Amino acid sequence: MVALELALVGAYLVLALAVGLVAFRLTDATAEDYYLASRSLGTVVLLFTTFATLLSAFTFFGGPTLTYANGPEWTLVMGLMDGVLFAVLWYVVGYKQWLLGRSEGYVTLGEMLGDRFGSTGLRVLVAGVSLFWLLPYVMLQQRGAGQAVVGLTDGAVPYWVGAGGITLFMIAYVVASGLRGVAWTDTLQGVFMLVFIWGAVAWVLAAVGGPTAATEALADSNPEFLALGGGLYTPQYIVGTAVYIAFGVTMFPQINQRFFAADSEATLKRAFSLWPVLVVLLFVPAFMLGTWAAGLGVAVPEGGNVVPAVLREFTPAWFAALVVAGALAAMMSSSDSMLLSGSSYFTRDVYAPLAGEADREALLGRAVVVGFAVAAFGLSLTATQGIVQIGNTAFGGFAQLALPVIAALYWPRTTRTGMLAAVGGSQAFYLGNLAAVVAGPFESMGAVGAAYYLGWHPGIPGMVLSLLLVVGVSAVTNPSPDENAGAYFGGQRAD
């Protein structure tokens, strides 16, 4: 049975690699093509690559397991976060960045800010902060992949082989084909995930007599799950989680860089209005499957995940294997993009300003992808609790960048000193809170929030602080002579 499951997962991986290689044939040697597919992504590809990149392991593993234990309200958190708030930010941050990227040729966030504020320091700081949160997050994806393979094969394939195999595989197609290959495989993976999560729900519901029967079983076992709110789900939790993750997502390098990669305004408009629909289509089935499993008496092993458990109970082994392949797809489609963006941040915003422009940037970029992937894999083998916590809290770390960036995009009075103070100050604040978790007194950031911030996740007061700092410090400082507000406020036009 293990052989069949591995064959299915392997066949899927080969298919994704083939797509990457076709894209490679279309790739030329410039950095802009490697990182941004020459700003040529159309609606379907841009939508799915952003979507698949967002999803990560949480859709199949973390999310349903949370709703299994706490009820389905996470669907609302997701809808508010990715369906509405992210869509609005897609316009406010993404469209604005796309316009600037087209007129000024920016490839990374650090480049965009460094140019406007005439500051190499700000450029390196933004890239450094981003890489600090990104690397452990990539590591978590590899860990998830390794654990999924162990679970699928009942331990016949050891953890390091699973995580290492996925790492090698991603290196192969990211190195070969850059964003074009990543975007195409993401589209394949996104479609794959949607089809399989609906297939899984349909299969399980057919086996237990339909949604009404499943919900009645849940009403007997966990009636509190059906009532909106309660337990984990306080208003602060729902709103705070949605807000800090939505803002954090826009600053995640692989998402932020997508803002530069659209081929036209029409593409951005179409993707904008399709967000809420896509979010409902994916998360309602994924999270209800987890919730229903609680009513169906599915047992989840300590530290395990509910989706593999419920599939093992109600569907044939080959189907469960396909869904695990879908979950691996979700992890890879996040990690591959993160590797690529991490490479561009390092190459352009850390290496180039400090060591000089690389002669062959696209080649150096590929070498950095390999280095980054191997480093994250190494971390995944040795990860301490501290590293895991940094990865788990990365969204909040990125969220601290969002409001200063929005100020820079829309408020001409923003100064370099204001930006440095806001980025540095809010990161220090957030890291201070994280230190309280890593060092031991608190078990999670949520617990810190409950103790000090009226139940709000520390990411929220951090964002407020970043806004106060960028506005306050900018108001009392003057722009430096080498700042270039004209780069943003010169009245650029889209054609």
Partner 1 sequence: MISRAERYGWVLALATLVAFAVPWFLWGDSRTALGLPLWLWWHAGWMGLAAVVFRLFAVRAWDDGVQGVA
DSSP string, 384-425: -HHHHHHHHTHHHHHHHHHHHHHHHHH-TT--HHHHHHHHHH
Nearest distance in Å: CB 488, partner 1 = 8
- Of 146-154, 194-202, 263-271, 314-322, the segment contacting partner 1 by CB under 8 A is 263-271
- Binding of residue 387 to partner 1 (CB under 8 A): no
- Binding of residue 204 to partner 1 (CB under 8 A): no
Q: Catalogue the long-range contacts made by 443-451 (C-beta closer than 8 Å, 24 or more residues apart).
A: 445/393, 445/396, 446/237, 449/236, 449/240
Nearest distance in Å: CB 115, partner 1 = 17
- Binding of residue 211 to partner 1 (CB under 8 A): yes
Residue type, 232: L
At how many degrees (to 10) do helices 394-410 and 96-104 cross?
Answer: 70
- CA torsion sign for 391, 15, 279, 410 is positive
- Binding of residue 451 to partner 1 (CB under 8 A): no
- Of 77-85, 169-177, 313-321, 421-429, the segment contacting partner 1 by CB under 8 A is 77-85
- Binding of residue 319 to partner 1 (CB under 8 A): no
Cβ-count burial 60-87 (b if 16+ within 10 Å, e if not): bbbbbbbbbbbbbbbbbbbbbbbbebbb
Size of the site for partner 1 (CB under 8 A): 51
- Of 118-126, 232-240, 368-376, 383-391, the segment contacting partner 1 by CB under 8 A is 232-240
Place of tokens 């691996």: 328
Nearest distance in Å: CB 88, partner 1 = 6
* Binds partner 1 (CB under 8 A): choice among 20, 64, 83, 295: 83
Q: Under DSSP, is residue 230 helix (H, G, I), strand (E, B) or coil?
A: strand
- Which one, 215 or 477, has the nearer CB to partner 1? 215
Tokens coding 255? 């998402």
- Binding of residue 75 to partner 1 (CB under 8 A): yes
Q: Mask 264-293, x = binds partner 1 (CB under 8 A)? A: -x---xx-xxxxxx-xx---x---x-----
84 close to 242: Cβ distance less than 8 angstroms? no
- Which one, 118 or 229, has the nearer CB to partner 1? 229
Nearest alpha-carbon partner for 290 in 306, 301, 302, 303: 306
Tokens coding 491? 């009245």
In whole angstroms, what is the distance from residue 327 CA to residue 197 CA? Answer: 10
- Binding of residue 382 to partner 1 (CB under 8 A): no
Applying CB under 8 A, which residues contact partner 1? 72, 75-76, 79-80, 83-85, 87-88, 91-92, 95-96, 99, 210-215, 219, 223, 226-230, 235, 238-239, 265, 269-270, 272-277, 279-280, 284, 288, 410, 412, 489, 491-494
